[in-house]
Amino acid sequence: MGKTIHWKFTVILLIVGFMVAVQFNSMQKPEERDTRDIWAIRHELSTEKQYHSELLTEIRELDQTISTYKSLNETNAGKALSETVDNLYKQAGMTTISGPGIVLNVRPSAESVAFGVPITGISPDLLTRFVNELNRFKGISLEIDGKRFTTLSSIRDINGVTSVNGLHISTPPFTIKIITPTMEDSEKLYNFLSASTIRDDFYLDNLLLVIGKPEATIEIRGYKERFENQFLKEIPKGE
């Protein structure tokens, strides 16, 4: 009889100890809660809806291209294919383009010049933050110090000098050109950059970001480097 009671008492203690351990672990590692307010969630939802809209636009454009190919004969199909290739070159930044936009000037701050602070180039981190700010706007074309910046471009530190596409960025002053789809977009970009804290980041690095007024026509040169084709192969004629 005593052994039975002792055994039951041991089981009860094990169960109670297990429950206490689970409760203690849950208190030490509480579930993370989403503490964002309603406006932060609405902003994220708006961003996702914008991405969804852009994807639908791209799908419609591809469907239209396929329909065009199907409706053309062999003679016109070659012309349509050539036009498609030209459009892809434009999207990849291989061609020189012009349109409405703004020109930015990066130059040493007046204080750094007055106090004789050595003028250094823009840092890769600062330039990357600046490009990320611009990526809030879709459909823009960018040229940094005469170097076309595309989705395949990279910003790196090479031997202590900031480089884009493997080419060194000049020591300030230098210019940054931005082309937008419409003049209205240029106005929005101008207002956004004028109110952005990115200008303070430039100032902390003894640099000034001077934002020019929107212009009706700005020219940006095409990407000079050739793209390397690693996967696609041309099919010999007759196959």
Structural domains of the chain ordered from first start: 97-220 (3.30.70.1880)
Q: Which tens digits make up the pLDDT trace of 173-217? A: 999 999 999 999 999 999 999 998 999 999 999 999 999 999 999
Spatial neighbors of 126 by CB under 8 A, at least 6 apart, are 201, 202, 205, 207
d(CA 91, CA 62): 14
User: What is the predicted pLDDT for the residue at 25?
Assistant: 63
227 vs 128 pLDDT, higher one: 128
Q: Tell me, what's the pLDDT at 15?
A: 74
The highest-confidence range among 6-15, 56-65, 190-199, by mean pLDDT, is: 190-199
Q: Which residue has the higher pLDDT, 171 or 4?
A: 171
pLDDT of residue 57: 74
Give residue-wise pLDDT tens across range 96-122. 889 999 999 999 988 887 888 888 889
Q: Taking a C-beta distance cutoff of 8 angstroms, is the pair 172, 108 a contact?
A: yes
Query: Does 167 have pLDDT greater than 70?
Result: yes
Choice among 28-42, 122-136, 161-175, 180-194 with the minimum mean pLDDT: 28-42
How long a stretch of residues is the chain?
239
Q: What is the mean pLDDT of the chain?
A: 79
Give the mean pLDDT of 18-31: 62
Residue, of 60 and 24, whose pLDDT is higher: 60
pLDDT at 152: 76
Distance between CA atoms of residues 92 and 142, nearest Å:
12
